[in-house]
A = this chain, B = another copy of it.
Amino acid sequence: MVQSPSVKQVRIDSGFWGVYRGLVREVVLPYQYEALNDRVEGADKSYAIHNLKAAAGLIPPEQKGPVFQDSDLGKWLEAVGYALQDKPNPQLEAWADELIGIMEKAQQPDGYLNSFYILRGLDQRFTNLIDCHELYCLGHLIEGAISYWQATGKTKVLDIMRRYADLVDRLMGPGEGQLRGYPGHEEIELALVKLYRVTGERRYLDLAEYFILERGKSPSFFIQEWEKRGRTRHFDTHDTRVPELSYFQAHEPVTGMSEAVGHAVRAVYLYSGMADIAAETGNEELRAACLRLFDNISQKQMYITGGIGQTHHGEAFTFGYDLPNDTVYAETCAAIGLVFFCRRMFNLERDAKYIDVMERALYNGVIAGMALDGRRYFYVNPLENWPEASEKNPGRNHVRPVRQPWFGCSCCPPNLARLVSGLGEYLYSYGENSIYVHLYTGSRAEFDLSCGKVTIEQSTKYPWDGAVKLTVRGAGRYTLALRVPGWCRQAALTVNGQAAEPTAVKGYILLNRDWAGQTEILLTLDMPVAVMQASPLVRADAGKVAVQRGPLVYCAEEADNGSDLAALSLPPGAGFALGKAAGLPEEAVALRVSGHRETPGDGLYYPASFEKKPAEITFVPYYLWGNRGPDKSAGGEMAVWLNRDRD
C-alpha cells in the first residue's frame, strides 16, 4: 500500500506546473474571491458569499442563485490552504479568515451550516438529499477546512466543520431513528475519509463507508424520500416523474457496478470514494468494482483529452465508444474528478496505467478549462469548436466557443484552482521503502521512509522536452520508481552519469538499491510527435487522426489555419517541424506539417474527386486553444481530430 504525499511535502515552484501554481496563487484566487463576492463586472453572479452573509444575519435574509453555492467557498478555501502551505500570503489568509468568520456566524447551534436551508427554511433541511446538495456542500467545506487548518494551524474552521460533520453523523446512518439516506451528489465521502485521516476518528470513515455501501440499495431511499416529499423535485417543479436513479449512480449497489453511468462528475467522485474505502477497509468487492469502472471509462468512454461526459443532457456518460466531438460535454469538473479517481486507483494498484490517464486528463481536459490569464473558464471542453454551430444549432448551444468570466453554476473554476494549487499530492506516491515518481515538473519533495528522510529535486522542461533531472538525497535501501509514460516508446537513463537499464515494470523503472549521499538521475523520455487514431469502434473519429507529443494532445485552430478545418487532411508519415505559435507562451511548442486542404467542388454533392492543394497545417497544444485573438478570448474554429489523407 502506498499513499500520496501532502502538498507541504511537495513544493512545485518552477517549470510548467510552477507557473500554473503561481498563476493560481497570484491571480486566480484573488480573482475568484472577487467573483464569489459578485464584484466582477460582466460576469454571472455567484451569490456564494452573499448567501453566507445572509445566513449569518449580516445582510437581509435573501437566498440567491442555485442551491449548491456554498460548495464553491469550500473549494476556494481548499485552494487557498494549499497555496499557503507553500508560503505565506497575508492577503489570501485575511480573506479566508473573513470567510471563516462569516461561516462561524452562520453556523446553527446544533452545528448545521448550509446557507440555502438557513435562508429558505430549516424545517426542510435533509428532506431532499437527491437534489439539494447539502452533503455535497458539507463535503467541500470539510475539504476546505482541512486544507486551511493544515496550512495555518488555525483550528477554527476545522472545528466548525467537525461540528457540522458530527451533526450529520448523528442524524444519518442505519441506526434506529437515523435518516437512512446518502447524498444526491457524491463528494462528502472523499471529505470524510480525509477527515478520518487527519483526526484519526474512525466514525468519519464509517460514515463515508456507510454512504458508499448504502447507495443504490433496494428499496431506493431517493424514491422513498421523493414519495415522502409529495413527489416534488427541486430543479423542475413541474417534473412529476419518478427520479432517474442512474443519473445519481443510485440504481444499484455500488459493488455491482461495471459501467460508468449518469452525471459524470457525480460518477467519478463516487468512484474516487469507493477507491478510498477500498484502500482503507480492504473491501475487495469495492476494489473490483473500481477496476471495472476505471476500465470502462478509460477504454470506452473517455475522450483523447481525458475529458469525460459525452452528453449535456444530464452532463452525463452515454455508452461505450459513443464519443461525439461536437455535441460533447467533457466538463472541466469531470476531468478533475477523473484525476482524483486515477490517483486513488494508483495507490490501490500501483500500475502506471492510472497515472497515464491522470496525466492525459491533467495536461489536456483539465487545464484547457482555464485561460492563460486565469480569469476565463470553459465549462464544456469540446474537441471540435465551430462557433457558428454553437450559435445556430441548438444541440450545440451548450458548447461555448469562448471562455467565460464566471458561471451561474460555477463549479469548475474553483475546482480547477484547488486541483492546481494542491497538485503536489499528485506528483508522487510513497510507501515505507518506496517512492513512485508520477509526474515530471520542477519541484522539491521530502519523504520520511523507514530508512530516514529522502528528498527529490526535479528539474525539467517537461512537457516541452523529455529530459528530466532528478537529484535524490537520502541514504538507505529503498526503491525509487520512475514512471515511463505510456506515450513514450523509448527512454534512456543515467544514474550519476552511468547508463542504467531503463526497463519499466507496470510503467515504472524500479531503482532498488542502497542509496547514499546525493544521486543525480537523468531520465530522457523520447518525445516524438505521434499521430494517433481512435479505435474504429469510435464512430466520431473513424478515419481521423489526432496529434500528440508527450502528454500533450494538439489541435488545429482557425487562428493558424484559417476556417473550415474539416477541409484539412494530414498525409500518412508526415514529418513535423517543432516551432513557436504566435500569441502563445514562449516555451510552448507548436507543430507544423505539410498537409492538404480540400477544394470545394461545384455544389453540395458531386462525384468523389477530393481535389486538394498543399497546405501547411499548424497544431498547438489543446490546452492552449482559444487564448488568442483581439481580446485574448476570441473564438474561432478548433479541431482535435483531422481527416487523414489518402496519399
List residues of A whose CB falls within 8 A of some B CB: 238, 298-300, 302, 304, 310-314, 316, 318-319, 322, 324, 326-327, 384, 386, 388-389, 392-395, 530-539, 542-546, 564, 566-567, 569, 572, 598-601, 603-610, 643-647
- Interchain CB contact under 8 A, A386 and B539: yes
A600 touches B536 (CB 8 A): yes
Contacts A543-B543, A543-B544, A564-B537; A605 near B304 (Cβ below 8 A): yes
A532-B606 contact, Cβ under 8 Å, with A395-B395, A542-B598: yes
A305 to chain B, nearest CB (A): 10
Cα distance A543–B542 in the bound complex, in angstroms? 10
Residue of A311, A393, A543, A610 with highest tally of chain B CB at under 10 A: A543
CB closest residue in chain B, given A647: B646
- Whether A643 pairs with B542 at a CB distance below 8 angstroms is yes
Question: CB-CB < 8 A to A322: which residues of B?
Answer: 386, 388-389, 392-393
Contact A533 B299 (CB under 8 A): no
| Contact across chains for A608 and B545 when beta carbons are under 8 A apart | yes
Which residue of chain B is the closest to A313 with respect to CB atoms?
B394
Q: Would you call A535 and B393 a contact (CB within 8 A)?
A: no
A298 → chain B, closest Cβ, in Å?
7
Q: List 25 A-B contacts (CB under 8 A).
A: A298-B604, A302-B604, A304-B605, A311-B393, A311-B394, A311-B395, A318-B392, A318-B394, A327-B395, A384-B539, A532-B606, A533-B609, A533-B610, A535-B603, A535-B604, A536-B564, A539-B566, A543-B543, A543-B569, A543-B644, A545-B608, A608-B644, A644-B646, A645-B646, A647-B647
What is the minimal beta-carbon distance from A79 to any residue of chain B, in angstroms? Answer: 31
Q: Are A535 and B313 also in contact (CB < 8 A) when A389-B318, A392-B322 are?
A: no
Chain B residues closer than 8 Å to A319, beta-carbon distance = 388-389, 392-393
Q: Which residues of the partner chain B approach A238 to less than 8 Å between Cβ atoms?
A: 238
A324 to chain B, nearest CB (A): 7
- Interchain nearest-CB distance for A582 vs B (Å): 26
Closest residue on chain B to residue A598 by CB atoms: B536
A395–B543 touching, CB < 8 Å? no
A300 touches B604 (CB 8 A): yes
Residues from chain B with a CB closer than 8 A to the CB of A646 are 572, 644-647
Give 9 A-B pairs besides A302-B604, A318-B389, A536-B567 with Cβ atoms closer than 8 angstroms: A327-B395, A384-B539, A530-B607, A531-B607, A532-B606, A533-B610, A535-B600, A535-B601, A543-B543
Which of B313, B324, B394, B564 is close to A326, meaning CB atoms less than 8 Å apart? B324
In the assembly, what is the distance between CA of A544 and CA of B544, in Å? 11
For the complex, what is the distance from the CA of A304 to the CA of B608, rounded to whole Å? 13
The 3 closest A-B pairs by CB, nearest first: A313-B394, A536-B567, A543-B643
A488 vs chain B, min Cβ distance (A): 12
Query: Separation in Å of the A357 CB from the closest CB of chain B?
Result: 10
How many copies of this chain does the complex contain?
2
- Decide: A606 and B567 in contact? CB cutoff 8 A: no
* Chain B neighbourhood of A534, CB < 8 A: 604-605
Closest to A238 in B: B238
- Shortest A15–chain B CB gap in Å is 26
When distances are taken between beta carbons in the complex, the residues of chain B under 8 Å from A300 are 604
Distance (Å) between the CB of A158 and the closest chain B CB? 42
The chain B residue sitting closest to A353, CB to CB, is: B603
Instruction: Name which residue of chain B comes closest to A323, CB basis.
Output: B604
Distance of A572 Cα from B646 Cα, bound (Å): 9
Instruction: Determine whether the beta carbon of B313 is less than 8 Å from that of A395.
Output: yes
Q: Which residues of B contact A536 (CB under 8 A)?
A: 564, 566-567, 598-600
Q: Which of B318, B388, B535, B606 is the one whose CB lies under 8 Å from A533?
A: B606
Q: A111 to nearest B CB, angstroms?
A: 39
Q: Closest approach, in angstroms, between the C-beta of A247 and any C-beta of chain B?
A: 11
> A608 contacts B299, CB within 8 Å?
no
CA distance A324 to B318 in the complex (A): 19
Within 8 Å CB of A538, what residues of B? 566, 604
Given A610-B533, A644-B646, A394 and B603 touching (CB < 8 A)? no
A614 to chain B, nearest CB (A): 15
A514 to chain B, nearest CB (A): 38
Q: How far is the CA of A40 from the CA of B318 in the complex (A)?
A: 34
Nearest CB of chain B from residue A258's CB, rounded to whole Å? 15
Complex-state Cα separation, A609 to B572, whole angstroms = 9
In the bound complex, what is the Cα–Cα distance between A304 and B607 (angstroms)? 12
Cα–Cα distance between A326 and B396 once the two chains are bound (Å):
13
Tell me how far the C-beta of A103 lies from the nearest C-beta in chain B, rounded to whole angstroms.
Answer: 37
CB distance from A71 to the nearest CB of B (A): 26
Specify which chain B residues have a CB less than 8 angstroms from the CB of A312 in the assembled complex: 395
What distance in Å separates the Cβ of A311 from its nearest Cβ neighbour in chain B? 6
By beta carbon, the residue of chain B nearest A639 is B539
Give A554 Cβ to nearest chain B Cβ, in Å.
Answer: 13
- Note all chain B residues with C-beta closer than 8 A to A608: 531-533, 545, 572, 644
Contacts of A388 in B (CB 8 A): 319, 322
Contacts of A299 in B (CB 8 A): 603-604
Residues of B within 8 A of A569 (CB): 543
Question: Which residues of the other chain, B, contact A313 by a CB distance below 8 angstroms?
Answer: 394-395
CB distance from A21 to the nearest CB of B (A): 29
Quote the shortest CB–CB distance from A181 to chain B (angstroms): 27
For A567, list chain B residues within 8 Å (CB): 536-537, 542
Separation in Å of the A330 CB from the closest CB of chain B? 14
B394, B533, B647: which contacts A605 (Cβ < 8 A)?
B533
A574 to chain B, nearest CB (A): 11
Taking the nearest CB of chain B, how far is it from the CB of A246, in angstroms?
11
CB distance from A317 to the nearest CB of B (A): 9
Residues of B within 8 A of A532 (CB): 605-608
Closest to A261 in B: B392
CB distance from A301 to the nearest CB of B (A): 9
Q: Which B residues are in CB contact (< 8 Å) with A318?
A: 389, 392-394
Q: Which residues does chain B contribute within 8 Å of A599, judged by CB atoms? A: 536
A542 to chain B, nearest CB (A): 4
